Amino acid sequence: MATAGLTKEEVEVFARGLHFLATRDPITPREEELVREFLREAGSVLRFEDLDSTSFDPLEAAQILSATYLRRIFVKTGMVLVRSDGDFSPREREALGQIADVFGISNTEYGDIERHARGLSLD
């Protein structure tokens, strides 16, 4: 999971957002490990355990991830993360859809991201 070029603030909103998505249904060990790996590779001072006491606000994330490509990368990464357990639950789908709406990602673009994410892995 490459994190080169992200600011500290962008890394933190990615981490909070990924944790938020992973906890829309019971978090799996695989989802937890992927979020931990993101934090390690990003060199973040945040620990996975710290994320339980944080919140994720899509509006704040949209402000921090102001570049369209960062928003798309977040949605794609989130999709791959929640699918890592072999299931894309209705709660995960709803949360990602709401985030995509706030990020200004159209339904067509969301569908394209989802189709592309199906073939990706965070390994």
Q: How many CA atoms lie within 13 A of 123 on its CB side?
A: 6
Residue 37 is encoded by which pair of tokens? 């790996």
Q: Each residue of 51-67: pLDDT tens digit?
A: 999 999 999 999 999 99
In the chain, where the domains are located: 8-118
Residue 74 is encoded by which pair of tokens? 């977040």
Higher-pLDDT residue of 106 and 116 is: 106
Q: Each residue of 14-72: pLDDT tens digit?
A: 999 999 999 999 999 999 999 999 999 999 999 999 999 999 999 999 999 999 999 99
pTM of the model: 0.89
Q: Residue 38: CB partners within 8 Å, gap ≥ 6?
A: 1, 3, 14, 15, 18
Q: Which CATH class is domain 8-118?
A: mainly alpha
